[in-house]
Amino acid sequence: MWGRRGGTVKLALDVGRSGKSIAAMPDTTLDLRGLRCPLPALKTRKALTRLAAGDQLVVECTDPLSTLDIPNLINQTGDVLEDQQAEPGLFVFRIRKKT
């Protein structure tokens, strides 16, 4: 049920003078499909405590109340809600851990 570290890998290009070219920044995906309020918000809060500053958490929920609960949680924690998508029966949140 907990996220799969490295399931999604984003690449960042370092275009500075250091000569380094590519550094991987893994996302953590939290599959909370089928869970009802308040569990998605509680499990998201717990997952955020385990992340390092700057890491990204992708939360997948099926509970419509998560569209209210997750943004409210992010306002409380001070983290950043980078993206929120709603598809039929699925709600996806991309959260960046505060630095």
Domains of the chain: 4-96 (3.30.110.40)
Q: Is residue 38 reached through a cis peptide bond, with omega within 30 degrees of 0 on the bond before it?
A: yes
Q: What is the pLDDT of residue 99?
A: 84
Tokens of 33: 């499909």
**What's the distance, CA 19 to chain centroid?**
30
Share of the chain above pLDDT 90, in %: 72
For residue 87, the SS3 value is strand
Q: What is the DSSP letter of 51?
A: S
Kindly tell me if the per-residue pLDDT of 28 is higher than 60: yes
Is 61 a catalytic site residue? no
Catalytic residue among 26, 31, 35, 37: 37
Share of the chain above pLDDT 70, in %: 75
Q: What is the pLDDT of residues 58-96, one digit of tens each?
A: 999 999 999 999 999 999 999 999 999 999 999 999 999
Give pTM, 2 decimals.
Answer: 0.74
Label residue 11 by pLDDT band (50, 70, 90). Answer: very low
